């Protein structure tokens, strides 16, 4: 398939994050961006976010309990 060059300006921190993420996945920046656009256009990203939100809502009590267990007891003082 023929490739077209695009140009975009992004904040430096976004550019560095994109480069790192692409490298982590073993992809070029172009291939990484193409994957993001394809996932977005196909609705894959939206479905993944919705699934994560449902999971968190369904298991909120477990997460809350774990978080509460990590909090120091009220009134506890270090010696």
Q: How far is CA 27 from the centre of its chain?
A: 17
Q: pLDDT tens across 3-57, in order? A: 899 899 999 999 999 999 999 999 999 999 999 999 888 888 888 899 999 999 9
27-48 burial string, b = 16+ CB within 10 Å, else e? eeeeebeeeeeeeeeeeeeeee
Residue 79 has pLDDT above 70, yes or no: no
Evaluate whether 31 touches 22 at the Cβ level (below 8 Å). Answer: yes
The phi and psi torsions of 25 (rounded to 5 degrees) equal: -90, 0
Burial (Cβ within 10 Å: 0-12, 13-18, ≥19) of residue 75:
exposed
Note the pTM of the prediction, 2 decimals: 0.57
């Amino acid at each position: 398939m023929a490739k077209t060059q695009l140009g975009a300006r992004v904040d430096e921190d976004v550019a560095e994050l994109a480069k790192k993420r692409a490298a982590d996945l073993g992809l070029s920046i172009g291939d990484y961006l193409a994957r993001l656009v394809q996932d977005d256009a196909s609705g894959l990203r939206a479905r993944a976010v919705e699934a994560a939100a449902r999971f968190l809502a369904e298991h909120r009590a477990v997460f809350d309990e774990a978080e509460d267990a990590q909090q120091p007891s009220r009134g506890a003082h270090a010696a």
